[in-house]
Structure 1
Amino acid sequence: MLPGFQSPAVGFDQPFEMLEACHERVQRSVALLQRLAEHLHRVGNDEPARQAAADVLRYFDVAAPHHHEDEERHVFPPLLALPRDAAHAAVHAAVRRLEQDHRLMRQLWQGLREALQRIAQGQEADFSHQELELLQRFTGLYDSHIALEENVIYPAARVRLDAQAQAAMGMEMASRRGVVSTGPTAATR
């Protein structure tokens, strides 16, 4: 079965856990995109394929940009404020690479988005060879990106953001999404 998935419930009162839960949703959306490509090739553009395309579009049009903005506003700046010395060179380089990844992800997404819209509307039966290459670049980029964030960047940022800064981070993240409550049932966007 192609469409849909459930999101882990975590609240904005735990912003790093929220960011990691978002990574789980990214990975599920990436996997859905890959399954969609296989399904289109094997079965063609049927209702499950159109629903899967719509689900992927919704995630990468709405939630993924919020997630990237969360990182660019709250996670990257304190790390870039670290002294520019040998002790922090790896963190600085990792942040710069992640910023570059975000730009490339947006660019790759635009090419995939158009194809997914046509698939979701039943106007296209399959991805073209070029679109499949874009899809592979896009999904591969997310795999390495998430690993770098979770293994290097988030741990480094957690150390630099005290409880008060993390609470403010969570409140701003929720506010930008129009979420009033910050408890575990508050949102998974």
Structure 2
Amino acid sequence: MTASLFDTAPDFDQPIAVLRHCHDRIRKQLRTLQGLAGPEGQAASIQERAQAASAVLRYFEKAAPNHHADEEDDLLPMLRATARGDDAALLERLAPNILDEHRKMEPLWAALEAPLRRIAAGETAQLDAAAVAEFSRLYLSHMEIEEGNIAPMAKRLFSDEQMTRLGNAMRRRRGIDGDAA
């Protein structure tokens, strides 16, 4: 058996696994962002800093908004339609906070975006370490709640048809063909 050299993403036939994979990628980009703001980022070459900043920008400008839309437009509404009893009560408590945290991430990202663009262009710019720390803290606690509550609930409650519907919506959002029947 040979090991893959590539970090392969799960298929959209497993939409909850795709969401978890997105969280793993967010964690990777947060580590890169923290590195850029720290001493190792200052010691890196201009080219290394530019590549790292470009990777962070690519992820948080495209993939992260798709991920948030997956949750806001599909996952949470489908859970609201399905959950009953204790699950519905938990969802009623958590969903507003999840949506509010998505809104709180936007201005934090906006504060980081301009210096990241300058770094990506090879210019000298500093990231605000406090802004990076707050952005990272918010994202990490947010993902912990989703992974500890929302994802297990969806895996337990969704039928195969609901999982297919969720996966297909995620595909369409990304412009990927291959909707299952």
The interval holding the TM-score normalised by the smaller chain is 0.7 to 0.9
2:159 is aligned with 1:162: yes
Q: State the SS of the aligned residue for 2:13.
A: coil
| Residue 144 of structure 1, CA deviation | 0.5
RMSD over aligned Cα, in angstroms? 2.2
1:133 paired with 2:130, answer yes
Aligned length: 174
- Aligned twin of 2:146: 149
Change (3 A) 1:126 1:55: same
Give the structure-2-normalised TM-score.
0.86
1:164 is displaced (CA, Å) by 0.5
In the TM superposition, residue 182 of structure 1 has moved relative to its aligned partner by 6.6
Query: Alpha carbons of 1:7 and 1:61: their partners in 2 closer, same or farther (altered >3 Å)?
Result: farther
Unpaired segments of 5 or more residues in structure 1?
A: 1-5, 184-189
Distance in 1 of aligned mates of 2:176 and 2:139: 26
Match of 2:41 in 1: 40
Task: Point out where structure 2 has 5 or more consecutive residues left out of the alignment.
Answer: 1-5
Encode CA deviations 1:15-62: one digit per residue, 9 max, x unaligned: 001001111101111111111212333x16610011000000000001
Over 3 Å counting, the alpha-carbon distance change for 1:32 and 1:182 in structure 2 is farther
Query: What letter matches 2:27 in structure 1?
Result: Q
Q: Report if the CA contact (8 A) 2:168-2:179 is conserved.
A: yes
Structure of greater relative contact order (alpha carbons < 8 Å, 6+ residues apart) = 1
Counterpart of 1:175 in 2: which secondary structure? helix
